[in-house]
Amino acid sequence: MTARSERGQGPRMSGRSRQLNLPRAARVLSGPGGAPERVDGHAVEAVRESWLVEDRWWTERPLGRRYWEVLRADGANVVVFHDLRTGRWFTQR
Amino acid sequence: MIVCALLPRFELAVTTGGREALAEGPVALAPPPGREPRIGEVSGAAEAFGLHPGMLLGEALARCPELALVAPDPIRVAQAWEAILRSLEGIGAAVEAERAGVAYFDGQLLIGLHGSEGRVIAATRRALRHPARLGVGPTRFCALAAASRARPRRPVVVSGGPTAAREHLAPHPVALLRFRDGVAEVVEPLERLGVSTLGRLAQLSRDAVVDRFGQPGLLAHCLARGEDDPLRPRQAGETLVESLELPESASGPQLQRALSALIDRLLARPERGGRTLRGAVMAAALAAGGTWRERVTFREALSDPERIRVALLPRIDLLPAPADVLWLEAAGFGPPAGDQRALLEEGRARRRARLREAVRQARTSAGPDAALRVVSVDPGSRVPERRAILAPFEA
């Protein structure tokens, strides 16, 4: 299980297997430092944590994500990441 | 050459005790207890008020306040209909009966036996012993349409293939679709949209009909174009029934115990000869009057009383009122099964076998993704989607 998934970043699934926790596109408005300020229309109350994932930099399909764990104004705790390669935002559990 | 024998308002006539009662005024079968409040068959006088089977009770009463409702008696209807089917089978017909009052069979196969098409029709009429309308056509639906226009003693015969069927069906109202299971729901919307005849329905683009009505629309469109499934005659066979009188009207656990006893008695009948059951019909005479009937088809032929109980017991809870008498009838037999139990039963192996069987059944009904399990692939990965996958569950 080494080849890319449908997003080109995960393991290849056999016939009827399915990946779990796939990233889902999110609408994120970020501030000057790159931190999310609104996620899917909800204001962000606080940023709990942030971390960087750099992987497969030695391949033609490198993976670069800046993760943010944030607390939204509606009380939901969500994890979003900014794909540094495509510039798009995703949520992920 | 499909022959359709149509006995209009059969359920209503049997329930009311004869056709004379239908001439007295607007009458309809009341909704079955515990089901959606929709009326059953209606008399001609009720039809004149715009009532039709399947109409919501409230709307029916609003259109016809003097409507008399008759409590359905599915047991009596089933017995009367079974007698007619057996009579038809007695002339050699392999009969398909989608509902009480409509029977189909391939008349071509009987010509060798009776001599000619006319003699087949005559034999059919004698076997029916009821005022019936007979239609002959290349498909079931076409034969039904022909029967709906036939007079009691003059059958309507449509010769030819699908084109002839389509031409014959064109002037018929879309309301004829109410006679077919699975398409009745499209009749009202079609009428509201101004598609009043099968000819107009056939002219519509199939894609547009499917887009609006889905699978029922596709079937309705095929029928209107003279296309139909082949005949699926029932297997003529013996009847195996067990009954139990309940001295004190039973419900709940008491009824479940009675059903359990009936299952054991049915399986113990020597006529079964070790064969499995494909399904069962439960019926009850209700203490408050009226009857109740429920048919259960098993996912596979069974002879294990425990598994039959698992399939039937939840259905007995649908009984709308306490019962005085309970019946259980075998609905079709499957191949014989080895009923002998193993001398030493391995509990774990049995559980695994049942689990495998449950998974197989779940996949049969809900698709290959019905039973999956989470498999940890790389639990320490920093990329969440690489940590686990859903894989097929193998017991």
Size of interface A-B (CB pairs under 8 A): 51
* B386 reaches A (C-beta below 8 A): yes
Please list, in sequence order, all residues whose beta carbon lies within 8 angstroms of the beta carbon of residue B375, skipping any fewer than 6 positions away: A17, B388, B389, B390, B391
**Residues of A with CB below 8 A from B389's CB?**
11, 13, 17-20
Cβ-defined contact of B389 to A17 (cutoff 8 Å) = yes
Closest-approach residue (CA) in chain A for B369: A16
Q: Which residues of A touch B378 (CB under 8 A)?
A: 11
Q: Do B384 and A1 touch (CB under 8 A)?
A: no
Interface test with A, best of B385, B390, B393 (most A CBs within 10 A): B385
pLDDT of residue B342: 54
Inside any domain, residue A72: yes
Highest mean pLDDT (candidates A22-26, B51-55, B79-83, B128-132): A22-26
What are the structural domains, with CATH classification, of chain B? 1-12+74-236 (no CATH), 241-336 (3.30.1490.100), 347-392 (no CATH)
Mean per-residue pLDDT of chain B: 84
**Between vectors from CA B159 to CA B157 and to CA B164, what angle results, nearest 5°?**
115
A16-52 pLDDT, tens digit per residue, is 567 788 999 999 999 888 999 999 999 999 999 999 9
Taking CB atoms and an 8 Å limit, are B389 and A11 in contact across chains? yes
Would you state the pLDDT for residue A39? 94
Domain count, chain A: 1
Closest partner CB to A93 (pick from B382, B384, B392): B384
Which residue do the tokens 């300020």 mark?
A37
Residue B185 CB contacts under 8 Å (≥ 6 apart), including other chains = B216
* B contact test, residue of A19, A24, A54, A84 with most B CBs within 10 A: A19
Instruction: Classify residue A16: in a domain, yes or no.
Output: no
B112 Cβ contact partners less than 8 Å away, ≥ 6 residues apart: none
Closest residue to B385, CB basis, from A10, A16, A17: A10
Cα separation, A72 vs A42, in Å, equals 6
Question: What pLDDT does A64 receive?
Answer: 93
Above 90 in pLDDT, residue B370? no
Which residues in chain A have their CB less than 8 angstroms from residue B369's CB? 16, 18
Task: Determine, for residues A10 and B383 on separate chains, whether the beta-carbon distance falls below 8 Å.
Answer: yes
The residues near B160 (Cβ < 8 Å, ≥ 6 apart) are B138
- Report pLDDT for B363: 81
Residue A62 lies in a domain: yes
Q: Residue A9: inside a domain, yes or no?
A: no
Residue A12 falls inside a structural domain: no
* Residue range B300-310, pLDDT digits in tens: 888 888 889 88
A64 lies in some domain: yes
ipTM above 0.90, yes or no: no
Q: How confident is the model at residue B366 (pLDDT cuts 50, 70, 90)?
A: confident
Q: Which two tokens stand for residue A33?
A: 């430092």
Cβ atoms of B255 and B316 closer than 8 Å: yes
Segments forming the whole domain that contains residue A78: 24-91
Asked if residue A80 belongs to a domain, the reply is yes
- Residues in A whose CB is inside 8 Å of some CB of B read 1, 5, 7, 9-11, 13-14, 16-23, 53, 55, 63, 65, 92-93
The string of pLDDT tens digits covering residues B167-218 is 999 999 998 898 888 888 899 899 989 999 999 999 999 888 888 888 889 9
Distance from CA of A31 to the nearest CA of B (A): 25
Cα separation of B341 and B329, whole Å? 25
Which of A86-90, B103-107, B232-236 tops mean pLDDT? A86-90
- Is the pLDDT reported for residue B339 higher than 60? no
Which residues in chain B are closer than 8 Å to A17, comparing Cβ atoms? 375, 389-392
Q: Residue B383 pLDDT more than 60?
A: yes
Task: Report the length, in residues, of chain A.
Answer: 93
Asked if residue A48 belongs to a domain, the reply is yes
